[in-house]
Structure 1
Amino acid sequence: MTTNPFTLMRRARQWKDSVRADLSDLKAELDVLRDELTSAQTRIAELEAQRRADVRVPPGHIVWPLLTAPNNEAWPDRILIVRRGKTLRAITASQEQVQVQVLGLGGWSGDSIVAAIVAGQVTEFELAVLAADGTLGPWTARPAVLKHIATEPTLFRDALNAHAGVADDLQLVASDSEHAFEMTARLLKQTPDLIDFLAAGRKTAAGSVPAPFALPEYLPDFRVPAQPRRRSALFLHHSYYHFNNLAEGLKERGWDAMTVSLENPASPQQQFFHGEDLSLFHADPAQMQRQVAQFFKSVPERFEAMHFYGMGAAALFSDNMEAGQKNTKIPWDFMELRRHNLIIGNMPSGCIEGALPSSFFEVTDGVCSHCVWQLRPDICSEDRNAAWLARLDLVCDWVGLEGDWVTPERKTPRHVFGPAVTALSKDRWRPDLEVPDAFWIARAPDELLVYHAVGNYESRRDQGRDIKGTGAVLAAIDRLKAEGCPIRLFFATDLPSRDVRYYQVQADIVVDQLNYGRLGANARESLMLGRPVITSLKHGRGEKLPYLTEAPVQHADEATIYGELKALVNDPERRRRMSELSRAFALKWHTQEVCAARFETIIDRVRAGLPADPDNALGDVVRTEMLKKHAHA
């Protein structure tokens, strides 16, 4: 039997009307529930306000010493307390000073504070007033506070819990981490002593305390120590052999110098390193964090200076490391060390650190077009480089360029243009170095050996891009061989760094990069070994750095390498003279003794508020920048 379509339509309308009526009833019920919820929330807010009001007026002889400002003029609306060891620090702010909320400050709970006092775990209480501009007044000792709290722990616990806390605005930490980074960074530079309160605020917002505050028992004391009686420096993360040699040079000058690594001993990167005084690595992440925290606690008391290497590695704790397109993680550990007046320096690994790609391209007349990283925005981009530049600006007192290109971003009073950290041992890299049998290169008696090296060779050449110019070197060697020249190439790639000097010292000629335009590690090592070096060496516009103008290398690029190499092959006397000049140049600029003396001078200059560069190589520019800085201060 077929159902009449009109009957179906009528039934459908009836069903639709019925559903609509049911939905209307549900909406009405929902509106009632929403009104009840609003009323309940309003009542809760009223009760909370009443509770705070009740707590705010406890017996005056108990709460008054804690909650009043040091000048006894006003009762604070907020009091935030943090703890390190046996000391409590509190900041207070009045009702009008909403920056406590906006800036995301936090504190320890009243329960934990009172429990520590009752247990006799704290002996000092210091109080400061937060001003409207986010600055702090002086810390004043309030010993009576501890006694008052111990007499009425329950009352004070409720009082502290009521007057502490942070605002809902802290959700911006999770929703807009980049803005939170900028806001927190500015505040830490302006008022370093707020660091504990900012870290506590992050716990409320993000649900966890950032390192090193996650392990409070390993935090240094609040008080900034006096400068260590013995000169001292910490070198953090591996930088080939540079830190090892510089530390040795400083020890010869009476310094306490130490190299520290977090690198996994099984990492393939270990082939580029020369060991360390202390490894903080542990296979168990939790145990490693405790080891790092325990060492971190000792740093402010032991060291006056720290130098680090590695993009993204501006931290001791891995949780604080970052090298992305934007900054979201505060380097809490480095900022704490800055609070203790530790002088922090950095050695860039190359062009992507502390320079914008657009600036670098312009200053170098387009050298980036030879580099594969220009095609990799995850490695080199305006945003990523700018983020790292901002991070260096935040944590560093000085940056050593070691002769690298000077872009506008690198032309500041805190930049050192010549060598200071790229130290070499004149004994380990000496022209008469004895070569172990395992490293001898077999060759004919009259054969000339040309050494050329590229680390991570496969990843640094692509789509015709070759920053080292290796293709041109190979072509030049093949062409000379075809002409009957007794020449042989030793091409080194990914050799253990400890062994490289045994191959370099056997070379008659060393050919380093042909595009970048500066002295790289291979060139510096070969110069110390007294080898004739061919490499690209170019000067920026208006740039007259003594280190570069004195370098006794033969300039060549991809277009000229064949001619320059052929001329040097056919001129043994010139090779001999270049060898002598190479060694003399390296002894002047790169021995660990010379670099240690320059490093010491730089630390003294930074401590005195002077431009970091001991040569003041760009003096006019630096003076101009300093005048601008003081004009805006």
Structure 2
Amino acid sequence: MMRRAKEWKDSAEAGISELKAEVDVLRDGLTVAQSRIAELEAQRADAQLGASHARDPSVATDAKSLRGRLAAVKLLTGNYASVLFRLVGSKSRRLRLLPIRASTSLLFLQVRADLSPDLVGLAPSKSELRAWARDPAVEWKLGECISADPQPRRDEWSVDDFLAVRQLIASSTADNELVWRSLIASDQAIDGVKTWPFGFRPEHADPDVRRRRLMIAVGLALPKSLTALHQIEAAGQPATHNPPFGEEPIQDVPPPKGEPAVARRRSVLFVNPSYYNFHFLADSLRKRGWDALSMAIIDPKSEYAQHFHGHDWNLFETDADKQQQVLRERFQEAAERFDMFHFAGVGTLSFFPYNYDTSRDHDRVPWDVLDLKRRGAKIAYSITGCHDLITQTGFEAWSPGMCPKCAWRDRPEICSNHRMSAWGWKVVQLADLICIETDPPLDFRDTAAVFREPLSFAIDPEFWRPELGQSIPVPGLWREPKADGEILIYHSVGNYEMRTRQGVNVKGTGAVVAAIDRLKAEGHPVRLLFRKDVPSVDNRWMLAQADIIVDQLNYGRYGATAREGMMLGRPVVGRVNKVEARGLPAVRAIAECPIVDASEETIYEVLRRLVTDPGERSRIGAVSRAHAMRWWSKDVLAERYERVYDHLHEHGRPPATLE
């Protein structure tokens, strides 16, 4: 204690000496300015100048400014030591000031000092705070104490102490550690900030982006801060903006009273559709006793709506005001009803479309998700493509042949290292469970929250039955004429025109067509069934009539077409890379995968072997149905989801393996 007291005394004395030196400098400057004014007065008298030119305005202004600064510094010098010891010399003070700026308003929240380096790294820097302290246009405001634990009254800041900090920063020409010990600045966390994939640094952004990222981090670390943070972001905007709070204040969540008589049902709301997967999974979870629903905000009259199999809640309204009202009411119901909220879709991690990300920085603050976590709910997220939670560079290192063929490679508004890193950082902050559905665990998919095996991409084995097109006839609209002995090879591309550039796309369509043309030229009775943008409700009849299904030839994993084809009991061809990053063993669903591996270079040989061997096609089809039932059936996934859910609630993270 004596050593610390001596340190404080030495630091205070150093600060006093510094200010005294500045007083001397200012006094000298004032003397020079006054001498210059005297010279000009003498020149005026000698030259009998007019009164309007009697004094050089710039010199007079300098003198006035110097007098003001000198007075302020003298005032501070007189009580500098007492101010310092009152601010930071008290052993009882454990609260520091965390600055968050919006426009010309700078709010300082009182927080505990033990914040993570990643959070501190997002705060303003010392140089920014020094400039803002000297800028009269910037208003400094003292915020409430939002420390996680109740603090004694003596820990909280007084307005006088807070304003003294600004004065000391504004008047000082050098850092005084006793002053900066009172504030949280990004400079204090440089050595401890985490390094993200491929050098992404969330703290290296423009002030507004960094502020919103700081709000996300603070809202998670200190849930009591949400009211103050929301007021900063929503200031001056309509009450319906930045939901869910708007006009209503955030109420503290009361602790449960006594022991519950009956354990609460397992519950989950799947927010925003993941194709048809969430709809099927919710149905199977309900059969297991869950309170589980799937939700969407989709115009039922749109063409887009045809691609789904239904929703338990479709909250779409044509009127914008009615839409917002319905969403707010449903959110309040959902927040009290469900223990888990499961999202899917890049940029759409929110109950409210207004909170969706529309910029490359993915910096929109999801107030509803922060509030759900404050209430104790778990947040889950399922990836929706090769670029979700993974950088372009990271994916190309694992699958070199795909990115050069992608039409979106040079469209940074869709896919880029920066955009996907920004999204990955945000999801990693918010999600307690990340489902990567057998995709490689690279970049932001490599965290303790990740579950690698199939979990949420549920398939209905009755809807995709092997008997379709055989004992169950195909409806006339979708019946494909077929000659005796003819072999139909199915291939499809969603959004074909958008995803194809000069005849090249990531699925390898050109190579598939060339291989089939070559087989035809050799006399094999083959025909291509090429389809694009057909809803799965109808497309299942096309898949059911195929003898061979070709998925993609570049990705290294497989998607909905392959899962549906296997569930129908048809042989599926596609590129399956069973090698994982960093020497990790492949997950079982990939290691056991019966998809016939093929690339653009080998597709001809693979198809030729299957075309000429009907017995092999039949064998692979049977194995494929069994594999799909074991790994992707909605009832199997519901049982697996329940195990992961229970583990997550008990241990705070998903299990590392299925065992």
Calculate the TM-score normalised by the size of structure 1: 0.72
The amino acid of 1:584's aligned partner reads A
Q: Is residue 239–residue 273 contact of structure 1 (8 Å, CA) maintained in 2?
A: no
Cα 1:363–1:137, aligned 2, differ >3 Å: closer, same or farther? closer
Instruction: Say which SS state the counterpart of residue 307 (structure 1) adopts.
Output: strand
Question: 5 Å matches for 1:52-451?
Answer: 102-103=99-100, 131=112, 136-138=147-149, 176-204=207-235, 211-217=242-248, 222-223=253-254, 229-433=264-468, 434=472, 435-451=474-490
Q: CA deviation at 1:228?
A: 7.0
Instruction: Say which SS state the counterpart of residue 545 (structure 2) adopts.
Output: coil
Q: Is residue 602–residue 614 contact of structure 1 (8 Å, CA) maintained in 2?
A: no
Per-residue CA distance 1:184-212 (angstroms, 9 max, x = gap): 12212211121122112334487878532
- Aligned: 1:511 with 2:550: yes
Q: CA deviation at 1:263?
A: 2.4
Q: Is residue 490–residue 546 contact of structure 2 (8 Å, CA) maintained in 1?
A: yes
Specify the alignment match of 1:492 in structure 2. Answer: 531
Aligned residues: 510
Instruction: Say which SS state the counterpart of residue 505 (structure 1) adopts.
Output: helix
The amino acid of 2:254's aligned partner reads R
Looking at structure 2, the residues matched to 209 and 97 of structure 1 have their Cα atoms a distance apart, in angstroms, of 37
Q: Name whichever of 590-599 and 369-378 sits farther off.
A: 369-378
Q: CA deviation at 1:131?
A: 4.0
Specify the alignment match of 2:139 in structure 1. Answer: none
Cα 1:30–1:330, aligned 2, differ >3 Å: closer, same or farther? farther
Cα 1:323–1:384, aligned 2, differ >3 Å: closer, same or farther? farther
Looking at structure 2, the residues matched to 498 and 521 of structure 1 have their Cα atoms a distance apart, in angstroms, of 13
Looking at structure 1, the residues matched to 210 and 523 of structure 2 have their Cα atoms a distance apart, in angstroms, of 65
Q: Is residue 390–residue 420 contact of structure 2 (8 Å, CA) maintained in 1?
A: yes
Q: CA deviation at 1:590?
A: 0.8
Looking at structure 2, the residues matched to 426 and 288 of structure 1 have their Cα atoms a distance apart, in angstroms, of 35
The amino acid of 2:360's aligned partner reads Q
Q: Is residue 363–residue 540 contact of structure 1 (8 Å, CA) maintained in 2?
A: no
Q: Name whichever of 216-225 and 367-376 sits farther off.
A: 216-225
> Which of the residues 629, 634, 649 maps onto 1:607?
649
Q: Is residue 249–residue 596 contact of structure 1 (8 Å, CA) maintained in 2?
A: yes
Q: Is residue 239–residue 246 contact of structure 2 (8 Å, CA) maintained in 1?
A: no
The amino acid of 2:353's aligned partner reads S
Cα 1:290–1:483, aligned 2, differ >3 Å: closer, same or farther? same
The amino acid of 2:648's aligned partner reads V
Specify the alignment match of 2:508 in structure 1. Answer: 469
Looking at structure 2, the residues matched to 25 and 569 of structure 1 have their Cα atoms a distance apart, in angstroms, of 103
Q: CA deviation at 1:463?
A: 3.9
Instruction: Say which SS state the counterpart of residue 294 (structure 1) adopts.
Output: helix
Cα 1:25–1:181, aligned 2, differ >3 Å: closer, same or farther? farther
Q: Is residue 524–residue 586 contact of structure 1 (8 Å, CA) maintained in 2?
A: yes
Instruction: Say which SS state the counterpart of residue 234 (structure 1) adopts.
Output: strand
Q: CA deviation at 1:609?
A: 2.1
**Identity level (%):** 34
Q: Is residue 503–residue 510 contact of structure 2 (8 Å, CA) maintained in 1?
A: no
Per-residue CA distance 1:597-616 (angstroms, 9 max, x = gap): 11111111111226524626
Looking at structure 2, the residues matched to 229 and 277 of structure 1 have their Cα atoms a distance apart, in angstroms, of 21
Unaligned 5+ residue runs, structure 2?
Answer: 1-49, 72-85, 103-108, 116-145, 167-182, 187-202
Q: CA deviation at 1:563?
A: 1.2
> Which of the residues 594, 599, 617 maps onto 1:575?
617
Looking at structure 2, the residues matched to 519 and 489 of structure 1 have their Cα atoms a distance apart, in angstroms, of 20
> Which of the residues 603, 621, 624 maps onto 1:561?
603
Q: CA deviation at 1:294?
A: 0.8
Question: 5 Å matches for 1:12-31?
Answer: none
- Aligned: 1:532 with 2:571: yes
Specify the alignment match of 1:113 in structure 2. Answer: none
The amino acid of 2:589's aligned partner reads Y
Q: CA deviation at 1:272?
A: 2.2
Unaligned 5+ residue runs, structure 1?
Answer: 1-20, 43-75, 78-93, 106-127, 143-159, 618-633
Q: CA deviation at 1:96?
A: 7.8
Q: Is residue 104–residue 202 contact of structure 1 (8 Å, CA) maintained in 2?
A: no
Q: Is residue 199–residue 213 contact of structure 1 (8 Å, CA) maintained in 2?
A: no
Looking at structure 1, the residues matched to 609 and 465 of structure 2 have their Cα atoms a distance apart, in angstroms, of 26
Looking at structure 2, the residues matched to 162 and 234 of structure 1 have their Cα atoms a distance apart, in angstroms, of 48
Looking at structure 1, the residues matched to 500 and 53 of structure 2 have their Cα atoms a distance apart, in angstroms, of 69
Per-residue CA distance 1:474-525 (angstroms, 9 max, x = gap): 1111111122211111111011221111111111111110111112110000
The amino acid of 1:555's aligned partner reads D
Q: CA deviation at 1:268?
A: 3.7
Instruction: Say which SS state the counterpart of residue 586 (structure 1) adopts.
Output: helix
The amino acid of 1:176's aligned partner reads P
Q: Is residue 601–residue 614 contact of structure 1 (8 Å, CA) maintained in 2?
A: no
Calculate the TM-score normalised by the size of structure 2: 0.69
The amino acid of 2:606's aligned partner reads E
Q: Is residue 606–residue 612 contact of structure 1 (8 Å, CA) maintained in 2?
A: yes
Looking at structure 2, the residues matched to 175 and 484 of structure 1 have their Cα atoms a distance apart, in angstroms, of 63
Cα 1:442–1:412, aligned 2, differ >3 Å: closer, same or farther? same
Q: CA deviation at 1:357?
A: 1.4
Q: CA deviation at 1:266?
A: 4.2
Q: Is residue 553–residue 599 contact of structure 2 (8 Å, CA) maintained in 1?
A: yes
Looking at structure 1, the residues matched to 296 and 52 of structure 2 have their Cα atoms a distance apart, in angstroms, of 66
Q: Is residue 348–residue 356 contact of structure 2 (8 Å, CA) maintained in 1?
A: yes
Looking at structure 1, the residues matched to 644 and 568 of structure 2 have their Cα atoms a distance apart, in angstroms, of 27
Looking at structure 2, the residues matched to 271 and 584 of structure 1 have their Cα atoms a distance apart, in angstroms, of 29
Q: CA deviation at 1:325?
A: 2.3
